Amino acid sequence: MIRRHPIRSALVLLLVLLLAWAWPNRAHLAAFPDIIGAYTAKEYCSCRYVSGNPAAYCEGYVKQYVPISSVLDDEGAKRVTATGLGRTHSAAWLGERQGCQLLPSK
């Protein structure tokens, strides 16, 4: 079969290797979608309310290769909510000494 279908054999081998790598790392892979939204919310909040940068600068600062669905900046409450890969996380500015902190997910 390998001589007749070398490309198909290589793809099957690649799939088996990918599954062999993914299985022991399944917990880490499952956590990845949460990391994207949480990172964006926390870093955007820190950029805006701790460092005092303008919104346009902070949008560029938190830009990643993985697209973010939305970033909502509530200036009145000093709270940022970010959605990425189907998961939503929020961070809020707590004060000068505490800075920004991720809020517990619901």
Query: How does pLDDT run across 10-27, given as a tens digit for each residue?
Result: 898 899 998 898 888 888
Is residue 13 in some structural domain?
Answer: no
Is residue 8 in some structural domain?
Answer: no
Count of domains in the chain?
1
Taking every pair of C-alpha atoms in the chain, what is the biggest distance, in angstroms?
68
Is residue 10 in some structural domain?
Answer: no
Q: Which domain holds residue 92?
A: 31-101
Out of 21-30, 36-45, 46-55, 97-106, pick the least confident. 21-30
pTM score of the predicted model: 0.76
Is residue 1 in some structural domain?
Answer: no
Is residue 23 in some structural domain?
Answer: no
What does the mean pLDDT of the chain come to? 90
Which tokens sit at 38?
Answer: 């949480």
Is residue 97 in some structural domain?
Answer: yes
**Closest C-alpha among 33, 28, 32 to residue 85:** 33
43-70 pLDDT, tens digit per residue, is 999 999 999 999 999 999 998 888 889 9
